[in-house]
């Protein structure tokens, strides 16, 4: 199975929503969601949430204001370990994981995933800043 992990964004709806829809105020999130759906054809999508950790896309949640950039290094490492525990309980090691996030959400998590034997693809790595990533996503989605 293909599993997409999409990093959350600061911009959110102002009302309780499914996680997959909560962040659609952010064009960056929308493009990553479209890539997961149309290019990857992901079987499952989870949101990497600073507050909720590994957030199922269909779970309904309230808006919140918390980001990994607000956390200390030790808190980010603790967050990654908690997400890793949730992944181990939810995602099979035979699944392919595609991470669509900034480095804040992947830098501590990716080494844990690899050390546990998961197949990981950092989709946006090496694609430049957010503007360049958004252009690349647009291009890939247009090809699909």
Helix (H/G/I), strand (E/B), else coil: 29: helix
Confidence of residue 106 (pLDDT cuts 50, 70, 90): very high
Confidence of residue 27 (pLDDT cuts 50, 70, 90): very high
Domain boundaries, the chain: 2-143
pTM here is: 0.96
CA angle in degrees (0–180, nearest 5) for 74-78-84: 145
Distance CA 84, CA 108 (A): 10
**CATH classification for the domain delimited by 2-143, as one of 1.10.10, 3.30.70, 2.60.40, 3.40.50:** 3.40.50
C-alpha radius of gyration, the chain, whole number: 14
- Looking at residue 25, what is its pLDDT? 87
- Looking at residue 138, what is its pLDDT? 97
């Amino acid at each position: 199975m293909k599993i997409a992990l999409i990093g959350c964004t600061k911009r959110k709806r102002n009302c309780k929503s499914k996680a997959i829809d909560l962040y659609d105020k952010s064009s960056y999130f929308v493009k990553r969601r479209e890539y997961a759906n149309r290019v990857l054809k992901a079987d499952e999508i989870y949101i990497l949430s600073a507050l909720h950790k590994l957030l199922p896309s269909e779970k309904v949640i309230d808006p919140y204001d918390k980001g990994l950039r607000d956390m200390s290094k030790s808190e980010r490492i603790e967050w990654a370990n908690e997400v890793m525990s949730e992944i181990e309980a939810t995602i099979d090691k035979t699944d392919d994981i595609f991470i669509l996030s900034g480095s804040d959400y992947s830098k501590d998590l990716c080494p844990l995933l690899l050390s546990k034997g998961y197949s990981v693809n950092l989709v946006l790595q090496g694609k430049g800043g957010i503007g360049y990533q958004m252009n690349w996503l647009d291009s890939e989605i247009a090809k699909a």
